[in-house]
Amino acid sequence: LAKTTQPISMDSYEGQEVNITCSHNNIATNDYITWYQQFPSQGPRFIIQGYKTKVTNEVASLFIPADRKSSTLSLPRVSLSDTAVYYCLVEGYSTLTFGKGTMLLVSP
């Protein structure tokens, strides 16, 4: 049973805000929610992490409702260079289990 479920792909245009939602119905009390980004032929890159409510950094925001059964990664004003695969991971320890992620395609 997959720990997380996220859309396989999303399309957007430059300058738009993109929200990618991830479902994690069986999240455990000590699990953190972490998002990674991966470009072709590169290693995954940490974007943001949260436990509850809202977290914001210079790259993205992460919204987590009170029940923690889902989370939404928000990318403000995307550019072409944001085209990548985005992974949502829910783990209680640092060994990560990657799913297929969401392939975000940003067009001009």
Partner 1 sequence: EPEVTQTPSHQVTQMGQEVILRCVPISNHLYFYWYRQILGQKVEFLVSFYNNEISEKSEIFDDQFSVERPDGSNFTLKIRSTKLEDSAMYFCASSEEGDSNSPLHFGNGTRLTVT
Report the interface residues with partner 1, using CB under 8 A.
30-32, 34, 38, 41-46, 49, 51, 87, 91-100
With CA atoms as reference, report the closest residue to 86 among 34, 32, 38.
Answer: 38
Task: Give 94 or 108: the residue with its C-beta nearer to partner 1.
Answer: 94
Output the smallest distance, CB 43 to partner 1, in A. Answer: 3
Q: Comparing C-alpha atoms, which of 32, 36, 31 is closest to residue 20?
A: 36
Q: Pick the closer one to partner 1 by CB: 19 or 57.
A: 57
Judged by CB, which is closer to partner 1: 80, or 96?
Answer: 96
> Phi and psi (nearest 5°) for 47?
-105, -55
Closest distance of CB 23 from partner 1, Å: 18
Query: Rounded distance, CA 19 to CA 15, Å?
Result: 13
